[in-house]
Amino acid sequence: MPKVEFDLSQELVVLTGAAGILGSQFARALVRYGARVALVDCDGLKLEALARMITEELSGEVRFYIANVASAEQMVALGQQVESELGQVTVLVNNAAAKSPNFFAPFEDFPLEDWDQVMDVNVTGVMLGCQVFGPTMAQRGYGSIINILSIYGVVAPDQRIYEGSWYEGRAINTPAVYSTSKAAVWGLTRYLATYWGNHGVRVNAISPGGVFSGQNDMFVRRYSARVPMGRMAEPDEMSGALIYLASRASSYVTGQNIIVDGGLTVW
Ligand SMILES: NC(=O)c1ccc[n+]([C@@H]2O[C@H](COP(=O)([O-])OP(=O)(O)OC[C@H]3O[C@@H](n4cnc5c(N)ncnc54)[C@H](O)[C@@H]3O)[C@@H](O)[C@H]2O)c1
Backbone angles phi, psi at 233, to 5 degrees: -85, 155
| Residue-level pLDDT at 149 | 98
| Residue-level pLDDT at 242 | 99
19: CA distance to ligand 1 center in Å? 8
Q: Whose CA is closest to atom 28 on ligand 1?
A: 98
Q: Whose CA is closest to atom 34 on ligand 1?
A: 41
Domain boundaries, the chain: 4-156+175-217+235-266
Q: Which residues contact residue 32 at a Cβ distance below 8 angstroms, ignoring those fewer than 6 apart? A: 2, 58, 60
Q: For residues 35 and 29, what is the distance between their CA atoms, to the nearest angstrom? A: 9
Is the pLDDT at 56 greater than 60? The verdict is yes
Verify whether residue 178 is a known catalytic residue.
yes
Q: Which residues contact residue 160 at a Cβ distance below 8 angstroms, ignoring those fewer than 6 apart? A: 222
- Using a pLDDT cut of 70, give the percent of the chain over it: 99
Q: What does the pLDDT look like over 94-120, one tens digit per residue?
A: 999 999 999 999 999 999 999 999 999
Q: For residues 216 and 101, what is the distance between their CA atoms, to the nearest angstrom? A: 21
Q: Whose CA is closest to atom 43 on ligand 1?
A: 97
**Model confidence at 60, in pLDDT bands (50, 70, 90)?**
confident
Is the pLDDT at 135 greater than 90? The verdict is yes
264: CA distance to ligand 1 center in Å? 21
Neighbours of 243 (CB within 10 A): 20
Q: For residues 160 and 162, what is the distance between their CA atoms, to the nearest angstrom? A: 6
17: CA distance to ligand 1 center in Å? 6
For residues 82 and 111, the answer to whether their CB atoms sit within 8 Å is no
Is the pLDDT at 1 greater than 70? The verdict is no
Neighbours of 176 (CB within 10 A): 16
Q: Whose CA is closest to atom 21 on ligand 1?
A: 20
| Residue-level pLDDT at 2 | 59
**Torsion, CA 27, CA 29, CA 154, CA 108, rounded to 10:** -30
Is the pLDDT at 11 greater than 90? The verdict is yes
- Triad 14, 18, 22: Cα angle to 5°: 120
Q: Whose CA is closest to atom 37 on ligand 1?
A: 43
CB-based pocket (< 6 A), ligand 1: 16-17, 19-23, 41-43, 68-70, 95-98, 121, 125, 148, 150, 208, 210-211
How high does pLDDT run on average in the chain?
A: 97
Give the closest residue to 164 by CA, choosing from 222, 244, 239, 207: 222
Neighbours of 63 (CB within 10 A): 15
Give me the catalytic one of 178, 191, 244, 252: 178
Backbone angles phi, psi at 12, to 5 degrees: -115, 115
**Ligand 1, residues 25, 41, 242: which to mutate, most atoms within 8 A of Cβ?**
41
193: CA distance to ligand 1 center in Å? 23
Q: Is 3 helix (H, G, I), strand (E, B) or coil?
A: coil
Q: What does the pLDDT look like over 167-222, one tens digit per residue?
A: 998 999 999 999 999 999 999 999 999 999 999 999 999 999 999 999 999 999 99
**Sign (positive/negative) of CA torsion 182, 150, 177, 23?**
negative
| Residue-level pLDDT at 175 | 97
Instruction: Determine the CATH number of domain 4-156+175-217+235-266.
Output: 3.40.50.720
For residues 215 and 167, the answer to whether their CB atoms sit within 8 Å is yes
